[in-house]
Structure 1
Amino acid sequence: MTPEQAEDIRQLLHNEEHVLASLNAEIKEATALLEKITRDRDALQEIIVGKSGPHMAALRAGIEEKEKELRRVQKESKAVKASWDRMCRERGMVAESDPDLLKHLDFELELCRQTVQRLQNEEDSVQVSLDSQRSALSPIRRLPLEILSEIFKLCLPGSYIIPKSRSAPLLLTQVCGSWRRLALSIPQLWSSISVEVTVQRCRPPLPLIELWLQRSMTQPLSFAITELEQEDAREIADPVTAASILKTFVPAHHRWASVKLEYHDWRWPSGLEQLPQDALLDSLEKLDLQREYWFKDDFPDLKRILQASRLHDLTWHSRSPPSDYLQIVNILQLTHLDLVRPVSKDVFLDVLSGCRAIESCTFFVQLVGRIPDDSNHPLDTSPIVLPHLHTFELTVDMALTTLLSRLVFSSLTTLQINRLDEFFLINPINAPHFWDQEEVNAFLVRSQCSLRTLDVRDVEISSAELLDVLKFTSPTLQQLNITNERAKDNCITDDVVRALTASSSSSDPAFLCPQLDYLKLWRCVSSTDGLLADMVQSRWLPREEDTAKRMRLVIILLRDEECHATDVARLKEFHRRRPGITLVRR
């Protein structure tokens, strides 16, 4: 054999060894997977056997015996009670002149009373034993603790099982001993609490709040403290306020993740002054502050909390100008901003221009009484592009004109526009037309967004203007809410209703918003009686050839039901055939 042949053979063996090692590794992985599948199968088989195996059969037999025993005891108890009643009646008819007979009846009554008590105790004991055995038969009692703990975590506030519930952990501890022990061992269950405060007390009581915090251990904290409307706290010697309760949470400030503070009396300290001077609040992500006024002395305290490095969700509800405080916040990282109180147009645009990461925002822009900017600085017309904004809620007190002219929201899916009625009620003659169709069209064209929800409230929009908006948003619109609580004009006319009535043509449907699945029409309908019902029927009970999506919810409040008698009768019939249509009546 030549050296070249020997080298070839060695290389071949090396390759074979490499292939063999790869196969062994695959076999090892397959073996581990097989073992896991086998364990899962065994666990499932255990559950199946547990439901029908010898142990469960014996448990069911025991339950049947206890049920028989319970029925026997209840029957005996009923008979003894009947004897008791009979002897009581007999004793009432015996004359006082026959003491021997009275003494005998009293003796019998005492024996009967003792028998009733014994049977009652026996019935209680059997019932407790029966309840215990029945609970053992429940499938949830056979779940592993790891799975049960994950189910418990779904009961956290904000989850889809028990939304916003703050008492779920306490309820879990009251079911049984094993649930109590498990609930106490899960700190996440105790990491969220809501406190309501009056000048006399707080709910839950302070000792329970302290215990709650102790059980949360090192988990991030979410808490809300709300002062309820109450009498003047200055007349109480030692009043309970939001500040006095906040003191309990201050030692755990490094764990604050979501904080809501709602004050009723702004004249009292906020409690934020209790935070350490070097408090960083590195865990704080969500902050909701509701207080009528803030003083200049509050600025250092607010600065500590508004400068939290991870704060990205802010709600500011105060008459104090938000512009004085928003300069503290790193608005570049804000994803959610809710300014409940009014701001000027300039503040509105300035804040928006800085919120490059914003995803959802709410503004109230006040134009009436604001002094226009008469400076010599050139007017800024540069576009405000917010590529991540999907929800935009805007309330305006006078007119929509010029407010949307610089905005570009390419990801916008929810648009809500509200008109504040204050100016229109004070000076209805000089009130300008609120809705600016040219402004809205230009905004939608610039943004090129796929709007799914359109919500307009008291905006004094005409039927032609509404049709224009619906035509532009028609391909993607899924939810439409038109609320007209006070405006005189009803924009849902025959033209709008016919345009929304589904067509059976699949090639080129003539109707608008084929994806609509939620519709709310609130005191805004002026269509001919019967047309509204035709439109709802075409989307609520569509025929096979209809191309519209079936709506899931319809809410309607008619301004004058007498003018829509046919609509009302038919809508009630549609709801009877398929529930989900609500006719609100006043």
Structure 2
Amino acid sequence: MASSVPPSLEQDSTAGRDPALQLPFELFSEILLLSIDEGLNVETTVKRPLVLSQVSQHWRSVSLSTLRLWSRLHLQITRSKATRHASLVETWLTRSDSCPLQLHILWDEEVSSMSHPVLQAIVQHSDRWQRILLHLPTTAFPSLAPIKGHLLILTELSLGSNDFSRLTLDMFETAPMLRSFESINLSPLDLSLPWAQLSTIPIVSISIPECLEIQRRCPRLQNGTFILTFQFHSSLQGFDIDIRTPFIRSITFVSSPWSTFLDINLLLERCTYPQLVDLQMCDFRVPPRAQLPSFLARSPNLRSLDLRRVALSSEDLIACLQSVPNLVSLKLVENSGTGNFFTRDFLVAMMFSLQSAAGDGDTAYAGSSSSNYLVPHLKHLEIFISPSDSVVPLGSFVTMVESRCGLGTGNQLTSVHLWMKNLNMVYEVLGTERAEDVQERIFKLQDEGVDVTLGDFSPSSYDHHVSVM
């Protein structure tokens, strides 16, 4: 077992050439820890600690005495390398001594075995589990049974599998410090968990009834992410659960790739989040116009709204924005083919008042009193669009930005970004004179201190990712 006593500064073959010899032990140890502070992966939890321990005798002495360096491990285990992986795990568990453990263990092989030497090793140290991700065949989860009642410091748990089998587990039922639970392709309602404690829940592959039931079980939920599907894993028969969760501040609803025609209205009509601050919705092709405005109106504290590929017309979007007068940040990704919101009507509705011609054929528009402006406190606006064959109203866009940056009220936009595919083609359609006018007006706004961007984008620039570990 590695000693926690700082090593002596004995000279080795690097004497006179290694600046680390001049550093106090505590400082050098912190530097080593900073070198791995980039998330949990094979590079930062296996390769880099080994490299650091092999630079010199002094580096090895300090690294072996830095117990936290060995308390993190990301490992993709296989049956063919079972002995080697088990030896590596035993080494890390020994070198980390009594430190809380952060483990990512992934076993994706198609197997019928119920255990693995790596699982057997980490189970013996479950009293040190703090942040744990286990992605295993469902047949392997029962081998974790000995951890039941020995999860005193577990705070974050992620369970996943690739085989979508039903699985009943109770070994995580008692975990007094657990606050975050992530489920990937499992039926979470089959798991015995301390639901009432949980404040953060990302769930991948869950039906709308299950989503409602989980929220009912988690009265202290603050942050939720739900990847919704048509699958009905649970025994719930209807949508007769009304949810009012007073602590939720951030919620994300995503339609899974194979459930793009899922009707989110069935969920929105049942949920009320009075303290909601951040809302994100992604990939819903069934228009949520029936319930979204009233749902938003029940969240008076909403500050950030992110709608990605949600089927909304400009009229639908305007109705939604009328329900969120305190909004500060708005991000919109157009759902090409099922909802095109980026129209002249939308841009005119967003204007405060006009101080110049719209630049693309629009007539001057006089805004109403400031109390009736759409989202009057908006400071950050980001829009992604896929332009059709028609002329994109860039002139109206710039006019809208100018109007919201020139009132001197302190509530004007400070950052505006419009991203579109084939920007050069859009400029060609506009013609040289109008394209230059748009660019000159954007440069003027930038000179006045407004962060304005007009540019191309790729799908990767707005893809959604779900993870908490």
* Same structural fold, with TM-score higher than 0.5 when normalized by the shorter chain: yes
Structure 1 Cα separation of the partners of residues 93 and 237 of structure 2: 54
Q: Report the Cα offset of residue 323 of structure 1.
A: 2.4
Distance in 2, matches of 1:410 and 1:205, equals: 49
Is residue 193 from structure 1 mapped to residue 57 from structure 2 by the alignment? no
How far 1:260 sits from its partner (Å)? 1.0
**8 A Cα contact 2:245 2:273, kept in partner:** yes
AA in 2 matched with 1:477: V
Structure 1 residues 512 and 399: CA distance shift in structure 2, 3 A: same
Aligned to 2:320, which of 464, 469, 486?
Answer: 469
Task: For residue 580 of structure 1, report the CA deviation from its aligned partner.
Answer: 6.8
| Whole-angstrom distance in 2 between the partners of 1:585 and 1:359 | 32
Counterpart mapping for 1:237-256 below 5 A: 243-256=116-129
CA distance in 2 between counterparts of 1:159 and 1:370 reads 33
Equivalent residues in 2 for 1:84-163 (5 A)? Answer: 132-133=16-17, 136=19, 143-155=23-35, 157=37
Root mean square deviation of aligned Cα: 4.5
Answer with 151-160 or 393-402: which moved more.
Answer: 151-160
Aligned to 2:223: 360
In structure 1, what is the equivalent of residue 247 of structure 2? Answer: 388
> Match for 2:341 among 484, 491, 498?
491
Q: Paired residue for 2:4?
A: none
Letter in 2 for 1:449: N
1:9-408 correspondence runs (5 A): 132-133=16-17, 136=19, 143-155=23-35, 157=37, 165-166=44-45, 167-174=47-54, 177-201=57-81, 205-227=85-107, 243-263=116-136, 266=138, 269-276=139-146, 279-293=149-163, 299=168, 302-318=169-185, 321-325=187-191, 328-345=192-209, 347-366=210-229, 380=240, 384-396=243-255, 397-408=261-272
Q: In the aligned structure 1, how far is the partner of 2:175 from the partner of 2:87?
A: 29
Shift of 1:559: 7.0
Q: CA deviation at 1:562?
A: 2.6
Which one has the bigger helix percentage? 1
Does structure 1 conserve the Cα–Cα contact (< 8 Å) formed by 2:312 and 2:338? no
Q: Per-residue displacement from partner, 1:128-149 (whole Å, max 9, x unpaired)?
A: 98x955x54xxx8755433343
CA drift of 1:363 comes to: 2.3
Give the Å deviation of 1:497. Answer: 3.1
* Aligned equivalents of 2:391, 2:426: Cα separation in 1: 9
SS in 1 for 2:75: strand
The 1:368–1:224 alpha-carbon spacing in structure 2 relative to 1, beyond 3 Å, is closer
In the alignment, what sits opposite 2:298?
446
- Which structure 1 residue ranges, 5 or more long, are not aligned? 1-127, 422-432
Task: Decide which structure has the larger Cα Rg and report it.
Answer: 1
Distance 1:471 1:278, change over 3 A: closer
Q: CA 1:524–1:174 in 2, change beyond 3 Å: closer, same or farther?
A: farther
Q: Which amino acid in structure 1 is aligned with residue 212 of structure 2?
A: L
Cα offset, 1:351, TM superposition? 1.9
2:354–2:399 CA contact under 8 A, matched in 1:
no
Q: CA deviation at 1:468?
A: 2.4
> Shift of the alpha carbon at 1:492?
1.2
- Give the structure 1 partner of residue 9 of structure 2: none
Once the two structures are superposed, what CA deviation does each residue of 1:349-407 show, in whole Å capped at 9, x if it has no partner? 222122111011122444688999889xxx857x5322221111123543232422332
Mapped to 1, the partners of 2:92 and 2:453 lie a distance apart of 41
Relative to structure 1, is the Cα distance of residues 496 and 305 closer, same or farther in structure 2, using a 3 angstrom cutoff?
Answer: same
1:516 aligns with 379
Identity %: 20
Provide the residue aligned with 1:14 in structure 2: none
> Structure 2: how far apart are the matches of 1:224 and 1:148?
27
Q: Distance in 1 between matches of 2:83 and 2:348?
A: 54
**Paired residues of 2:207 and 2:228 also in contact (CA < 8 A):** yes
Does structure 1 conserve the Cα–Cα contact (< 8 Å) formed by 2:322 and 2:374? no
C-alpha distance in structure 2 between counterparts of 1:387 and 1:261, whole Å: 31
Opposite residue 97 of structure 2, the aligned amino acid is: M
Matched-pair contact (CA < 8 Å) for 2:149–2:174: no
Structure 2: stretches of 5+ with no match in the other structure: 1-12, 256-260, 356-368, 460-469
Contact 1:227 1:242 in 2 (8 A): no
Q: How big is each residue's C-alpha offset from its partner over 1:78-117, in whole Å with a ceiling of 9 and x where there is no partner? A: xxxxxxxxxxxxxxxxxxxxxxxxxxxxxxxxxxxxxxxx
Q: Is the 8 A contact 1:343 1:365 kept in 2?
A: yes
Contact 2:49 2:70 in 1 (8 A): yes
**TM-score, normalization by structure 2:** 0.71
CA gap 1:527/1:480 in 2 versus in 1, 3 angstroms: farther
* Residue pair 1:497, 1:527 contacting (<8 A) in 2 also: no
Q: Which has the higher strand share?
A: 2
- Counterpart of 2:362? none
CA contact (8 A) 1:500 1:535 kept: no
The structure showing larger relative contact order (alpha-carbon pairs under 8 Å, at least 6 residues apart) is 2
Residues 538 and 316 (structure 1 numbering): CA distance in 2 closer, same or farther, change over 3 Å?
same
Retained in 1: the 8 A contact 2:327–2:375?
no
CA distance in 2, matches of 1:367, 1:278: 33
CA deviation after TM superposition for structure 1 residue 501, in Å: 5.9
* Residues 370 and 199 of structure 1, relative CA distance in 2, 3 Å threshold: closer
When the two structures are superposed, what TM-score results if normalisation uses the length of structure 1?
0.59
Q: Counterparts of 2:376 and 2:24 in 1: how far apart (Å)?
A: 49
Give the conservation status (yes or no) of the 8 Å contact 2:271–2:295: yes
CA change 1:401–1:527 in 2 (3 A) is: farther
Whether contact under 8 Å (2:268, 2:292) holds in the other structure is yes
- The equivalent residue for 1:478 is 329
Distance 1:392 1:533, change over 3 A: same
- Which residue of structure 1 aligns with residue 361 of structure 2? none
CA shift at 1:226, angstroms?
A: 1.9
Alpha carbons of structure 1 residues 441 and 533: separation in structure 2 relative to 1, 3 Å: closer
* AA matched with 2:71: S
Q: What one-letter code is carried by the residue in structure 2 that aligns with 1:550?
A: T
Take 1:214 and 1:535, find their aligned partners in 2: how far apart are those partners? Answer: 65
Mapped to 2, the partners of 1:539 and 1:213 lie a distance apart of 61
Q: Distance in 1 between matches of 2:87 and 2:154?
A: 25
